Structure 1
Amino acid sequence: MSLSSFMQPDGRNLSKAGITLLMAPFFMLIGIAFLYPLISLLSISVTEPELGFQNYERILDTPVYGKVLLRTLWIALLVSILSLFLAFPVAMAMVSSGGAMAVFITACILLPFWSSVLVRTAAWAVLLQRNGIVNDLLQAIGIIDAPVRLLYTQGAVVVAMTHVLMPFMVLPIYGALRNIPQDYGRAAAICGAGPLRGFIEVTLPLAMPGVLGGFILVFLTALGYFITPALLGSPQEMMIATLISQQLREFLDWPFAAALVGVLTLFVTAITLVFSRVFRFDRMLGGQV
C-alpha cells in the first residue's frame, strides 16, 4: 500500500484512512489503559457477591451515599463558578497586556502545572491551620479575636480546588477572547456602547465557547477530585472520590466501590451528553464564533 492511498486527491491533506491510521495508537491506548479497566471494574459491581444490582440498591437505600453524591455535585458546581469569576479577568488581562506583563501573567498561570497537586494542597493546609497565615491575618485586622477552624472544612476544599483547577478555566477563555477581533470593541464604542455594555453585548457572547469549554472541563474534573478533599476535608464533608477510596483501602469492598464508580461514571456521561446536545463541543474547544 503506497503513501498516496492515505492522502486526498489534492495531495495536501490526509484521507480518512490516513487519519484513522494516525489515530490508531491513541485509540489503542484509550482502550487498554481506560476502557478495559473501567469495564472490568463495572462488571464486578453486578457480578459480586452474586449476579444482580445489590450494590446499586445499597447506594439508593442508604441516604448517606446520596448526600455524598449531592455534596460532590454542589462542590463541583461551586468550584466551577468561582473559577469562572476569577479566571475571566485574568484571561482578559492576558489578551490586553503585552510584553513583559503578558509573559508574567502567562507564567503565573502555567507555573502551577510544574508542581504537584499534592504540594499545592499541602501549602493550603499550612496557610489554613489554626496558627497559619490566614488566621494570623484575620486576627491582625480585627475580624476575629481567636483562631477559628478553617482547615478540614468544606470552605477549605472549595478554595484549594478552585486554586488548583482555575488554570483549566483560564486557558479556554483566553483562546476564545484572543479570537475576537479588536475591531468589534471599537465598533461597539463608535455605536455608543460604553465599556460595560460592550462587554455584555459583544465580548461575553463571543467568548461563550471558551467559557462553556472551561466550565465543563473544571466541573467534570472536580466531580472525581480526590487529593484535595482527602487532605483538606473532613469525614463529615466527604466527596464521592474519597468515599470510593475508603471502600477500597479500609473496607476492601471492591464490588461496592465499583458500584460507586458506576454511579459517578453515569453522572459524568449524562452531564457530558447534555452539554454536547445543548452546546457544540467543536465550538467550545475551538473557540469559534
Structure 2
Amino acid sequence: MKQRSFSPIAEGPIPLMAPAAVFLAVFFLVPLAYVGWMSISQPVVGLQNFGRLLHSSLFASVLYQTFRTAFLVTALALLFAYPLAYAAANGSKRFATFLLTVVALSFWTSYLVRTYAWMVILGNQGPVTALLTWLGFDPAPKLLFTTFSATLAMSHALIPFMTMSLFSVMKRIDPLYVRAAESLGASPRRAFLAVYLPLSAPGIVNGCTLVFISCLGFYVMPVLLGSPRDQMIAGIIGDQIEQTLDFGLGSAISIVLLGLTLAVYALYNRFFGLDRLWAGGGR
C-alpha cells in the first residue's frame, strides 16, 4: 500500500501560520490591548488622559521635537548612506561584500553598548574633546548631553537600515541606462541626476520611511545622550511610567505614538504601497 508523504504546504497555509499567529497574539496583541485599556481606565474610565495631552503645551513641544529630530536624523542617514550604497552597488563584488559586511556588523552591537561608546568618544576626557583642545578651542565646546550628541548617535545607528534599503534598489539598476545617457551627450553628472537618481528613488523612499519610523520610538540614545530640554516622546513615556507612576497618561502617550507610526505607514501605503517597502522597491 502506497503511503502518502506528509507536506505542511499541502495542508494549506493555516498550520504554517498558526505558531506565529499565537505568538503575536500572546506577546503583542494582548499587551497592546492592555495598554489601550490602561489609557482609558486609569485613574477612572474615560478619555481624560487624551484630553490632558490635547491641552498640554509640554506634550505639543515634545511632539514637535520628536518629529523635528526624526526628520533631521533621516536626512543625515540618507546623506551618509547614499554614497555607501552607491559604492557597494557599483563597485566590484569583493568590495561590495567587504562594505556590506562592515555595515552589517553594526546590527550585532546593541544600542546600549553603542550609546556608552558615544559617551566615551564625546565625553570631556574623550578623543574628540582632546582633538578640539589641541586645535585651539579653549575651552572645548560641550558635546555630550546635547541635541548634537543624540542626533549624531541616532543617525549612526540608523545608517545601516538606510544603506540596505538603498543598496537593494541600486543593485537592480542596469548600468546601461547611464551609459546610454552618456553616449547621447550627457555629462556624468547630468546622467546621474537625470537617470540614476530617479531610478534609485524607491530606495530613498523606503529607507527614509524605515528610518523615520524607527526614530520616532527611540528611547535609549535620546535619554542617555541628549539634553533634558530636548526629550522625545519615548522619553516622556518612560518618565510617566517610572517616575510619576502615571500609568494612564503613559499608556495614552504610547497609543498616540502608535497612531503616529501607523499614520506614516498609511501615507506610505497610500502613495507607494507597503509591498514595495518590504520588497526593496523592486521593479
Report the TM-score, using the length of structure 1 for normalisation. 0.91
Aligned-pair identity (%): 37
Task: Return the offset for 1:27.
Answer: 2.7
1:270 equivalenced with 2:247 (yes/no): no
1:231 equivalenced with 2:224 (yes/no): yes
- Report if aligned partners of 2:90, 2:171 keep a CA contact under 8 Å in 1: no
Cα distance in 2, alignment partners of residues 222 and 95 from structure 1:
26
- Report if aligned partners of 2:8, 2:15 keep a CA contact under 8 Å in 1: no
Q: CA RMSD in A?
A: 1.9
- 1:66 aligns with 60
- 2:144 aligns with 151
| Deviates further, 235-244 or 97-106 | 97-106
Residue pairs, 1:113-124, within 5 angstroms: 113-124=107-118
- Per-residue CA deviations over 1:249-288 (Å, capped at 9, x if unaligned) read 1111111100010111111111110111011222333222
2:251 paired residue among 251, 258, 266: 258
- Report if aligned partners of 1:130, 1:148 keep a CA contact under 8 Å in 2: no
- 2:273 aligns with 280
Task: Return the offset for 1:4.
Answer: 8.2
- Per-residue CA deviations over 1:131-189 (Å, capped at 9, x if unaligned) read 221122223233x2212211111111100000011100000100000011121121111
- Report if aligned partners of 1:209, 1:285 keep a CA contact under 8 Å in 2: no
- Report if aligned partners of 2:169, 2:203 keep a CA contact under 8 Å in 1: yes
1:89 equivalenced with 2:86 (yes/no): no
| Deviates further, 94-103 or 61-70 | 94-103
Cα distance in 1, alignment partners of residues 20 and 74 from structure 2:
29
Cα distance in 2, alignment partners of residues 91 and 221 from structure 1:
20
Task: Return the offset for 1:234.
Answer: 2.3
- 2:181 aligns with 188
Cα distance in 2, alignment partners of residues 248 and 2 from structure 1:
54
- 2:104 aligns with 110
Task: Return the offset for 1:228.
Answer: 0.5
Change (3 A) 1:241 1:5: closer
Task: Return the offset for 1:244.
Answer: 0.6
- 1:241 aligns with 234
Change (3 A) 1:29 1:209: farther
Amino acid at match of 2:38: I
- 1:53 aligns with 47
Cα distance in 2, alignment partners of residues 103 and 6 from structure 1:
34
Q: Secondary structure at the match of 1:131?
A: coil
- 2:38 aligns with 44
Task: Return the offset for 1:34.
Answer: 1.3
Task: Return the offset for 1:20.
Answer: 4.3
- 1:126 aligns with 120
- 1:12 aligns with none
Change (3 A) 1:191 1:63: same
Task: Return the offset for 1:191.
Answer: 1.6
Segments of structure 2 that go 5 or more residues without pairing to the other structure are: none
Cα distance in 2, alignment partners of residues 4 and 106 from structure 1:
37
Segments of structure 1 that go 5 or more residues without pairing to the other structure are: 8-16
Task: Count matched residues.
Answer: 279
1:35 equivalenced with 2:14 (yes/no): no
Change (3 A) 1:209 1:22: farther
